[in-house]
Amino acid sequence: MEITEVRVSLRPQNSKRLKAYATVTFDNSFVVRNIKVVEGNQGLFVAMPARKMKQFCPRCGKKVEVGSKYCNWCGVQLPPPPKDMATRQIIHQDLAHPISQEFRDYLQSKILDAYYREKESSEKKDSSQ
């Protein structure tokens, strides 16, 4: 699978960890949006699009986000999540992600290359004005 296009949207400079969002096109046929470029403790990395997991309210049965204190529908106080659910991996679930480490590295290198090009072009624009 080839990456045929990477578009990067830089975030404002005052954004602490989130540096940009990327949209990646695969084989001119498939698009993944909202891939994040994040500043971590060991440098930049790519975070795949994710959604918060849901749980059912014990009173009304409607879905609410895991970790919520109150039900959005009936207002009942929800029990705290179990201690093992406190990690991001349990609360958030990737919507799309690479299967192999080789493809993850390929995807990350393409996105970070596009990020650096976009950042450089943005800095050139700012300095010429």
Q: What would the pLDDT profile of 94-107 be if each residue is shown by its tens digit?
A: 889 899 999 999 99
Q: Residue ranges of the domains in the chain? A: 1-49+95-124, 50-94
Give how far the C-alpha of residue 28 lies from the chain's centroid of Cα atoms, to the nearest Å.
Answer: 22
Digit-coded pLDDT (tens) for 46-83: 999 988 888 899 999 999 988 889 999 999 999 887 66
- Which pLDDT value is given to residue 80? 80
What global pTM score does this model have? Answer: 0.76
- Which pLDDT value is given to residue 129? 63
For the domain 1-49+95-124, what is the CATH superfamily, name and number? Answer: Stage V sporulation protein G (3.30.1120.40)
Q: What average pLDDT score do residues 110-124 get?
A: 93
Reported as a pLDDT band with limits 50, 70 and 90, residue 84 is low
Q: What average pLDDT score do residues 1-10 get?
A: 95
Quick count: other Cβ atoms within 10 Å of Cβ 103?
Answer: 13
Q: What average pLDDT score do residues 13-41 get?
A: 94
- Which pLDDT value is given to residue 94? 84
Token pair for 44: 């930049």
Cβ neighbors of 50 (< 8 A, separation 6 or more) are 92, 93, 94, 95
